Structure 1
């Protein structure tokens, strides 16, 4: 696997966002993890959504995002809320 788009859930648009955020390889994404990757994208693109975080976690785990366990989805929802609160506080 040499391209980010070789990972599950990573299409051309998300691949471009990852690269723009400094994440250029599948190994970098896996080492950073979905939460850090999402945070980096969110810094550049405030429209980044929960489904993007799911997609990134699925890519890290090597599964389609809809196959993530419910417990993982709940954790990601909490992380998403925290990241968006931090951003909202930083803006005001």
Structure 2
């Protein structure tokens, strides 16, 4: 298990994409934030979905993505629509 997988919501696939995007430590992910990390991942994998963004946000906050507040999810959904449509 890599360092990034120690964060909630980050499995093998997400860790691989993050590493490919140049984000190779939990500290880097937290510093760059979920939105910027998601944009970098979308450049590598245009099929990355809203659930990836939720997972990244949860990882940054140190919580499961299911624990994100409704307000946070609405805000992230707006960001997702802006960058994917």
Q: TM-score range by the shorter chain?
A: over 0.9
SS for the counterpart of 1:10 is coil
TM-score of the superposition, structure 2-length normalised? 0.96
The Cα RMSD (Å) is 0.9
Aligned structure 1 segments of 4 or more residues deviating by more than 6 angstroms: none
Counting matched residue pairs gives 84
Structure with the greater alpha carbon radius of gyration: 1
Higher RCO, Cα 8 Å, sep 6+? 2
TM-score of the superposition, structure 1-length normalised? 0.89
Q: Which residue of 2 aligns with 1:65?
A: 65
Query: 1:47: Cα distance to partner?
Result: 0.3
Unmatched segments (≥5 aa) in structure 2: none
